Amino acid sequence: MIRATKLEFMEGTTIRVTFSDGSVKELDLSTLYGRNPQLKQLEDRAFFTSGKLGSFAIAWGEYLDIDVDTVYEEGKTV
């Protein structure tokens, strides 16, 4: 099973995630607003950069998260 090992906050609402298979993916989370309007909260830079990486999700507080599989599948390889 592939796990996320590193999280970086890029410009805007873009994250860069490194995975255990060595791949690195970037995803602009604003592209997910249509499916998850709650992600608009991430436009607040301080809140955005408060995200914490777990093995299977990136979480902002207790109520907002994104599955790292989404980043792996939809993110751009860098």
Quote the domain boundaries for residue 58: 4-77
pTM as predicted: 0.94
Interacting residues of 49 by C-beta distance below 8 A, sequence separation 6+: 9
pLDDT on residue 53: 97
pLDDT on residue 9: 98
The domain that holds 58 is classified in CATH as 3.30.2020.10
- Residue-wise pLDDT for 3-60, tens only, equals 999 999 999 999 999 999 999 999 999 999 999 999 999 999 999 999 999 878 999 9
Domains of the chain: total: 1
